[in-house]
Amino acid sequence: MAMQTIRADIVIIGSGVGGSAVAHQLAGTGARILILERGDFLPNEPQNSDAEAVFRQARYRTREEWLDAGGARYRPGQYYYVGGHTKFYGTAMFRFRVQDFEATTIDGALSPAWPVGYQDLAPHYAEAERLYGVRGQSGLDPTEPPRAAFPHAAIPHEPTIAALAGRFGAQGLHPFPMPSAVDFGDGGACRRCGTCDAFACRFGAKGDAETRVLRPLLAHPDVRLERRAEVTRLIADERGHRIVAAEVRRDGALLRVEAPLFVLSAGAINSALILLRSACEAAPDGIANRSGVVGRHLMNHHLTGLMAMNPLARNDTKFPKTLSVNDFYDGLPGDSDARGNIQMLGNIQGPMIRTAYPAMPGFLADWLGRHSVDVLAMSEDTPDPDSRVRLLDGDRVEVDYRPGGARAHDRFVRHVKGVLRRVGFPVVLRHGFGIQAPSHQCGTVRMGDDPATSALNALCRAHDHPNLYVVDGGFFPSSAALNPALTIAAQALRVGAHLRGMRATLGHAA
């Protein structure tokens, strides 16, 4: 039986931050936009905010299995839904700092420069903040890049977090309201339900890619979303120059989707896998991979959770993610390599703790959850070419992750623990988040000016293919030490604006 063929003017693969931003820019240009998304809409159901269902039963996590470098199988913390990982994200919407786009080193390892600077992204950061409804207050973060006011006022601290901000201030630090994409305030949808970071929102209050960007676009006659449509590979012409089609698996059948322009945004790991799986005679190492970098330089941030305990004080905060500290973003006194961002974690509950420590009795985990103030220490992960995702024997996925800068992060964490003790927490427990939940994955399809060492140019176009763009976190040359989503959105909006301009000058052939 012949394979069904669908045609569009622009095919976007993945409906997360990157894919939806490009669709936002191109909707209304007259182009027929087809978004291919392997997941479905996330059901709105009571389990969305049930820690037992979300963590212990891993209800929403993919059922696929990957291999670690030792060959052990695991079920990764990957979520495939319309809106991508923002359905579960913690709503921290940071701009990277000016210096994050410049080359630096951490304990001797290179963090390379980006082919774009902060000034290139600044207008798109502003647009992304507007789209996602980011709340914050400028002028208080000592590392803040040049910017105008936030679109909405900052979310106020709850009492425990306000007290913590005061105690940080008394230590000479400069705490500031964390920029957050939650529809909170008069007339807002947020009900302070107590579950947000790592949970899906039942009230439409989380500023995720589906709610804020994609849903409004679907009313547009030229924007079509195909759900449960998993792209298995891209198909190039005989010379391996232009991409002519995507092969798609939908409900057990294979489809061929043809278009003059393809935008890949399946997430850093899956985009690399699609490109590698697309190897053909003309591109034997995979599409967009003449440089050999596709799948390499996998980064994920060094993320350490710190549970600051005060047995005498109960913490009833519903939405703790209103506070951040960047005083150590450029280094500790006398140790400029030990550096990073401090921000609050979401509300930690007993079942979440028992997922990491299954032997812990439930009553103890619940007590710890209620008596801790939970902080995330985040440091930059430097790119290592041997840190990679690859396909074994055709289609088994191996993630051989080699974080760069782990020792520097450890020194940073020890310093942060000391700060927390000084502000009133005699016991600080530490837990590292590993690559099994690759929440900040990036770097696997890096951009750069040199086609020998990068897969994409500064506009995320494949050096090897004029009609292929990659706009998820895969394009990051380095990871900075701040949450990635706003930077993915800003660069994808920039790419989308460029494509819109191309269509205007070239007509529908662009």
Q: Which residues bind ligand FAD (CB under 6 A)?
A: 13-18, 36-39, 80, 84-86, 88-92, 197-198, 230-231, 265-267, 270, 274, 439-440, 472-473, 483-486, 488
Sign (positive or negative) of CA dihedral 127, 132, 137, 139: negative
Nearer to ligand FAD (CB atom), residue 177 or residue 484: 484
Nearer to ligand FAD (CB atom), residue 228 or residue 498: 228
Closest separation in Å from C-beta 268 to ligand FAD: 6
How many helices, marked H, and strands, marked E, lie in the chain?
Answer: 11, 21
* Rg, the chain, Cα only: 22
Closest separation in Å from C-beta 35 to ligand FAD: 9
Residue type at position 247: E
Nearer to ligand FAD (CB atom), residue 92 or residue 243: 92
Nearer to ligand FAD (CB atom), residue 19 or residue 404: 19
Nearer to ligand FAD (CB atom), residue 332 or residue 444: 444
Closest separation in Å from C-beta 329 to ligand FAD: 16
Task: Tell me if 154 sits within 8 A of 106, measured CB to CB.
Answer: no
Task: Tell me if 259 sits within 8 A of 231, measured CB to CB.
Answer: no
Helices (H), 34-117: 51
Closest separation in Å from C-beta 215 to ligand FAD: 14
Closest separation in Å from C-beta 61 to ligand FAD: 10
Nearer to ligand FAD (CB atom), residue 423 or residue 442: 442
Task: Tell me if 27 sits within 8 A of 222, measured CB to CB.
Answer: yes
Quick one: tokens of 62?
């993919």
At 483 the three-state DSSP class reads: coil
Closest separation in Å from C-beta 438 to ligand FAD: 8
C-alpha–C-alpha distance, residues 195 and 96, integer Å:
26
Please state whether beta strands 323-325 and 176-177 pair in parallel, antiparallel, or not at all (unpaired). Answer: antiparallel
C-alpha–C-alpha distance, residues 276 and 280, integer Å:
10
At 504 the three-state DSSP class reads: helix
What contacts 286, CB < 8 A, 6 or more positions away?
A: 275, 276, 277, 278, 279, 294, 295
Nearer to ligand FAD (CB atom), residue 364 or residue 392: 392
Task: Tell me if 112 sits within 8 A of 159, measured CB to CB.
Answer: no
Nearer to ligand FAD (CB atom), residue 89 or residue 328: 89
Closest separation in Å from C-beta 83 to ligand FAD: 6
Closest separation in Å from C-beta 294 to ligand FAD: 15
